[in-house]
Amino acid sequence: MSKTAEQAIHDKLWQIVSPLVSDKVYESRPMTEVGYPFADFGDFQAAFTGTKNGATAQINADLNIWDTEDKRKNVSEIGESVFRQAMILKEAFGYPVMLRVSDSTIQVIQDRTVTPAIWRCIVHLEFNI
């Protein structure tokens, strides 16, 4: 396989979220003004368990979706769409993938550190590979 398990999940999530935010996806929070909605990646974590036949991985991924103060519904819908598409993933660049549904979460919060306030949806996904 040409990618690590973590990179495969990252790239698959990029493919999922990109059309939902008109291709405005960033590796980290943009430091300059960008249009809404947009998405950026948070932390990724890979944990491995040794097995008789090698190792299995658990990949945890955080993805943020942002939109304006009057678009709370939009961040909620995009977050839900990412979650639902992650639920049906069976493969990511050659890796077998299964979402750990009961360990994954969606959180919608209002960011009041800017004026006007904006909405943020944090999608936390845990995968077994």
Report the chain (129 residues): mean pLDDT per 10 consecutive residues.
Answer: 91 98 94 92 92 83 97 97 98 96 97 93 97
DSSP state letters, 17-44 = HGGGGTT-EESS--SS--PSSEEEEEEE
Q: What is the pLDDT at residue 60? A: 97
Q: How many CB atoms lie within 10 A of CB 93?
A: 15
CATH class, 5-128 region: alpha beta
Q: What is the pLDDT at residue 52? A: 76
Q: What is the pLDDT at residue 33? A: 85
Q: What is the pLDDT at residue 46? A: 92
The whole model's pTM is what? 0.92
CA distance 53 to 39: 37
